[in-house]
């Protein structure tokens, strides 16, 4: 097949029959222009994924209609935003960028009260706000909202669509980008598609993976891992209404969508454009690694998963180009990188950095961190990492076992050590975490806990020991300083800005007790906020130190769009890197041990200056000194004076 010729023919055929009466004259022009430039890519992807189906062209035509409708429904303000973003596509690389993630109810009760809290976000310098899923979802356990029953309906407890739109507008006025979840690997079993499937509707049964017996599920099962082994073994759930086995990678009530069916791609595109038109500027692609299933494989990170995401990206470029994708791939570091591309996901969580910061705090050593970042930190200059120290999920010990091996570290043993350390079972550990998802068949587990509890603050406060408190505060400062300066959008988790400790009350709640991630999904109470204002409180110290980092980050332009080089040093407790932009160089030196460390002064040569300025302590250093002494857990942010 001559792809170019067929593509032109397909577009001509579609344009001949498509009804664009919902668009006015200028919109028709813009739409056609964007479609013309994106269609070849979309066509190639669509043919690649669905070309062997007799009805492929029908769905392609339906898709273009859906894109036109989606664009037509976009507000004037959002169309202006589209133009603005197209003329400044790398907006997310600015040194001003600072993210926060929160559950609407835990942060502010509901959407209306959240709007009233914008001044608090402003005072912190937040420019990117990720609201955890706020859509209609089942009563009781809904996996924190990640089981969506209706993408177009806001969860009643949080407010209405009108409230959400008003909030999006208010945030935009304050230059805060709203980030919403695009939960597209699965729906809840109460979504109308699932309901229809339960009642025997063949068309909607094809929206999911449903099987009459165990024959095929058992074949798939041989190669699949289990994500939540503590709630259910295997990846399939029996549905009594439909009398079928349903593919459920996560909880029983989260039904995986069948993207081998183009009707699903189109239907989900329609939902995606609806979300885009609410006014969000980034969509977090939830569980994106799982969207394509291929017999005989792990059904994660499949080639077609990438093609599907690229196709969704293409659709956004046509109908809502102000919106970017953020990848949530919590998988092997090499696989994480494959989702990051301006034509796939412009943004991505950085789980490797996250996990290895904790590793370095536990071991006080930085070799694995340095070697891993040297291999995996660099991404397309058009994309950006989203760097975080923890999120609403558990921490899994991701790293490349080959790199670990080269350093004499056995991956499995080391993961067991980290689990022991962060659940506080390892003698001398400072951490108070909770084990999550223990798998009885292979002993795997992951870790939950708030930033403050995992860095030792909870234990130190219990012991009432000032020295331990000081150490915990320094660890917090250290890992926050890295995510603020290494390159990318730093993403804070709500409550960590004032060092909230684990909240164990979920253990008394029916719908939460079996999911230990609730230990670190903590409500931000007025009381806690008041405490953080009190100058003698520990929370106040956490907050002040963080605010100093935030202030400095915004002043140092080189912390925005610049290249990162990870620098190996001779000291195994030190993690160092430079950032270079056209006209400035920045050097960060971080001490991951609670003891003073000395490094060779030659490192200052990287700054090409006679005198250097350390910004956190406002101290100057001569570039020709023999050595530099770092205090316990000290962070140095240096530039030429």
| 3-class secondary-structure state, position 636 | strand
DSSP-assigned letter for residue 587: E
- Find the catalytic residue in 105, 141, 286, 444: 286
Measured in degrees and rounded to the nearest 5, phi and psi for residue 64 equal -65, -40
Counting contacts by CB under 6 A, is residue 394 touching ligand GLC?
A: yes
For 306, what's the count of Cα atoms within 13 Å in the CB-facing half-sphere? 12
Cβ-contact 519, 469 below 8 angstroms: no
Contact region with ligand GLC (CB under 6 A), list: 311-319, 367-375, 387-395, 611-619: 387-395
| 3-class secondary-structure state, position 194 | helix
Q: From the CB of 391, what's the least distance to ligand GLC, in Å?
A: 7
Residues in 318-357 that interact with ligand GLC by CB under 6 A: 328, 330
Counting contacts by CB under 6 A, is residue 393 touching ligand GLC?
A: yes
Q: From the CB of 41, what's the least distance to ligand GLC, in Å?
A: 27
| Distance, CA of 237 to CA of 71 (rounded, Å) | 38
- Find the catalytic residue in 143, 190, 281, 328: 328
Is the CB of 392 or the CB of 520 nearer to ligand GLC? 392
Is the CB of 353 or the CB of 638 nearer to ligand GLC? 353
Residues in 164-223 that interact with ligand GLC by CB under 6 A: 183
Q: From the CB of 267, what's the least distance to ligand GLC, in Å?
A: 18
| 3-class secondary-structure state, position 330 | coil
Q: From the CB of 29, what's the least distance to ligand GLC, in Å?
A: 39
Is the CB of 35 or the CB of 106 nearer to ligand GLC? 106
Contact region with ligand GLC (CB under 6 A), list: 30-38, 99-107, 386-394, 470-478: 386-394
Counting contacts by CB under 6 A, is residue 291 touching ligand GLC?
A: no
* Binding test (CB under 6 A) with ligand GLC, winner from 68, 282, 283, 287: 287
Measured N-to-C along each axis, helices 25-50 and 303-319 cross at an angle, to the nearest 10 degrees, of 170
Contact region with ligand GLC (CB under 6 A), list: 114-122, 304-312, 390-398, 476-484: 390-398
* Binding test (CB under 6 A) with ligand GLC, winner from 286, 344, 400, 531: 286
Select from 204, 222, 219, 304 the least CA-distant residue to 259: 304
Q: Residue 564: is it exposed, middle or buried by C-beta count within 10 angstroms (0-12/13-18/19+)?
A: buried
| 3-class secondary-structure state, position 320 | coil
Q: From the CB of 160, what's the least distance to ligand GLC, in Å?
A: 24
Name residue 638's beta-bridge partners.
Answer: 587, 614
Counting contacts by CB under 6 A, is residue 143 touching ligand GLC?
A: yes
Q: What is the DSSP string of 480-507?
A: HHHHHHSSSEEEEETTGGGTPPP-GGGG
| Distance, CA of 28 to CA of 20 (rounded, Å) | 7
The 448-477 site mask, x for binding ligand GLC (CB under 6 A), equals ------------------------------
Is the CB of 159 or the CB of 396 nearer to ligand GLC? 396
Select from 367, 375, 365, 362 the least CA-distant residue to 333: 375
Counting contacts by CB under 6 A, is residue 250 touching ligand GLC?
A: yes
Contact region with ligand GLC (CB under 6 A), list: 40-48, 97-105, 333-341, 389-397: 389-397
| Distance, CA of 371 to CA of 376 (rounded, Å) | 9
Select from 292, 322, 313 the least CA-distant residue to 304: 292
By CB under 6 A, the count of residues binding ligand GLC is 14
Q: From the CB of 132, what's the least distance to ligand GLC, in Å?
A: 8
Counting contacts by CB under 6 A, is residue 516 touching ligand GLC?
A: no
If one counts every other C-beta atom within 10 angstroms of the C-beta of residue 37, the result is 11
Establish whether 335 is a catalytic residue. no
* Binding test (CB under 6 A) with ligand GLC, winner from 144, 321, 449, 560: 144
Cβ-contact 448, 521 below 8 angstroms: no
Q: From the CB of 393, what's the least distance to ligand GLC, in Å?
A: 5
Q: From the CB of 319, what's the least distance to ligand GLC, in Å?
A: 25
Is the CB of 338 or the CB of 392 nearer to ligand GLC? 392
| Distance, CA of 246 to CA of 211 (rounded, Å) | 7
| Distance, CA of 448 to CA of 459 (rounded, Å) | 15
Q: Residue 352: is it exposed, middle or buried by C-beta count within 10 angstroms (0-12/13-18/19+)?
A: buried
Is the CB of 62 or the CB of 256 nearer to ligand GLC? 256
Counting contacts by CB under 6 A, is residue 154 touching ligand GLC?
A: no
Q: From the CB of 447, what's the least distance to ligand GLC, in Å?
A: 11
Establish whether 328 is a catalytic residue. yes
* Binding test (CB under 6 A) with ligand GLC, winner from 138, 279, 321, 396: 396
Select from 213, 219, 184 the least CA-distant residue to 292: 184
Q: From the CB of 379, what's the least distance to ligand GLC, in Å?
A: 19
Give the angle subtended at the CA of 391 by the CAs of 135 and 533, to the nearest 5°.
Answer: 100
Select from 85, 124, 554 the least CA-distant residue to 346: 85
- Just list the catalytic residues: 286, 328
Which residues are near ligand GLC by CB under 6 A? 143-144, 146, 183, 227, 250, 286-287, 328, 330, 392-394, 396
């Amino acid at each position: 097949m001559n792809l170019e010729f067929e593509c032109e023919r397909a577009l001509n055929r579609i344009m001949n029959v498509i009804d664009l009466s919902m668009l006015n004259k200028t919109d028709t022009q813009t739409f056609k222009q964007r479609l013309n430039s994106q269609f070849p890519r979309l066509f190639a992807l669509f043919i690649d994924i669905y070309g062997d189906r007799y009805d492929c062209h029908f769905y392609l035509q339906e898709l273009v209609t859906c894109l036109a409708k989606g664009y037509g429904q976009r507000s004037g303000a959002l169309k202006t935003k589209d133009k603005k973003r197209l003329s400044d596509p790398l907006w997310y690389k600015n040194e001003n960028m600072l993210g926060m993630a929160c559950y609407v109810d835990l942060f502010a009760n509901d959407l209306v009260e959240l709007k009233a809290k914008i001044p608090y976000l402003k005072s912190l310098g937040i420019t990117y706000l990720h609201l955890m899923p706020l859509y209609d979802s089942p009563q009781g356990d809904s996996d924190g909202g990640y089981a969506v029953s209706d993408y177009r309906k806001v969860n009643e407890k949080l407010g209405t669509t009108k409230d959400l739109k008003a909030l999006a507008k208010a945030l935009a006025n304050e230059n805060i980008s709203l980030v919403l979840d695009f939960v597209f690997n699965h729906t809840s079993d109460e979504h109308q598609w699932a309901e229809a499937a339960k009642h025997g509707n063949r068309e909607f049964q094809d929206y999911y993976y449903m099987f009459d017996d165990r024959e095929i599920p058992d074949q798939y099962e041989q190669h699949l891992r289990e994500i939540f082994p503590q709630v259910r073994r295997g990846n399939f759930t029996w549905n009594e209404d439909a009398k079928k086995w349903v593919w459920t990678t996560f909880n029983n009530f989260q039904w995986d969508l069948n993207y081998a069916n183009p009707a699903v791609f189109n239907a989900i595109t329609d939902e995606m454009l609806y979300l885009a038109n609410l006014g969000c500027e980034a969509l977090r692609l939830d569980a994106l690694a799982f969207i394509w299933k291929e017999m005989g494989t792990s059904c994660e990170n499949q080639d077609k998963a990438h093609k599907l995401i690229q196709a969704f990206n293409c659709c956004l470029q046509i109908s809502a180009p102000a919106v970017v994708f953020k990848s949530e791939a919590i998988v092997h570091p090499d696989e994480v990188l494959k989702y990051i591309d301006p034509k796939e996901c412009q943004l991505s969580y950085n789980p490797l950095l996250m996990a290895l910061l904790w590793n370095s705090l536990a071991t006080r050593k930085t070799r694995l961190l340095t070697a891993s970042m040297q291999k995996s930190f660099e991404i397309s200059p058009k994309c950006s990492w989203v760097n975080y120290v923890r999120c609403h999920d558990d921490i899994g010990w991701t790293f490349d076992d080959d790199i670990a091996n080269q350093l004499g570290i056995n991956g499995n043993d080391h993961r067991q050590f980290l689990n022991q350390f962060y659940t506080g079972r390892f003698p001398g550990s400072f951490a108070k975490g909770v084990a999550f998802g223990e798998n009885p068949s292979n002993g795997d587990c992951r870790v939950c806990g708030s930033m403050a509890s995992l860095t030792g603050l909870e234990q130190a406060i219990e012991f009432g020991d000032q020295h331990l408190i000081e150490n915990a505060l320094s660890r917090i400062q250290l890992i926050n300083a890295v995510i603020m300066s290494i390159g990318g959008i730093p993403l804070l988790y709500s409550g960590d800005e004032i060092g909230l400790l684990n909240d164990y009350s979920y253990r008394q709640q029916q719908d939460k007790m079996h999911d230990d991630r609730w230990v670190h999904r903590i409500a931000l109470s007025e009381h806690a906020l008041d405490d953080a204002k009190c100058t003698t409180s520990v929370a106040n110290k956490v907050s002040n130190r963080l605010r100093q980092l935030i202030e400095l980050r915004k002043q140092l332009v080189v912390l925005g769009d610049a290249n990162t080089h990870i620098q190996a040093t001779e000291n195994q407790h030190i993690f160092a890197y430079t950032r270079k932009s056209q006209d400035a160089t920045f050097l960060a030196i971080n001490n991951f041990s609670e003891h003073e460390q000395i490094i060779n002064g030659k490192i200052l040569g990287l700054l090409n200056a006679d005198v250097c300025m350390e910004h956190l302590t406002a101290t100057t250093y001569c570039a020709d000194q023999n050595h530099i002494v770092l205090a316990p857990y000290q962070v140095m942010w240096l530039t030429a004076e």
